[in-house]
Amino acid sequence: MSHALEILVPLAPFILAFMIVRMRHEQKMRSLGLNSLNAAEQQAVAELHSLADRLEARVGALERVLDTELAGWRSRMPL
């Protein structure tokens, strides 16, 4: 138990500060009305999410093909 207190006591101010900043951010977003989306916006977000999932699956498939066809291709790619 004392070991846990040795870790938690120094972290307490950071945890408290994080919670305060997060609550203020949420309050500001609520006051701006950015947390609520209308039906059209919700549908657009759902469509974008679906598109992102499909694109992620396609990239994964392409990477698997490249892994089998061109061994070591990742190390040759400039990032």
Whose tokens are 């992620």? That residue is 56
pTM of model > 0.85: no
Per-10-residue mean pLDDT of the chain, 79 residues long, equals: 71 89 88 74 90 95 90 79
Cα distances (angstroms) measured from residue 37 to each of 46, 48, 50, 53: 12, 14, 18, 21
What pLDDT, on a 0 to 100 scale, did the predictor assign at position 12? Answer: 84
What pLDDT, on a 0 to 100 scale, did the predictor assign at position 22? Answer: 93
What pLDDT, on a 0 to 100 scale, did the predictor assign at position 52? Answer: 96
Residue type, 36: S
Distance of CA 17 to the CA centre of its chain: 21
Distance of CA 49 to the CA centre of its chain: 13
Work out whether the CA dihedral 51, 52, 55, 61 comes out positive or negative.
negative
Residue type, 78: P
The domain spans of the chain are: 1-36, 38-79
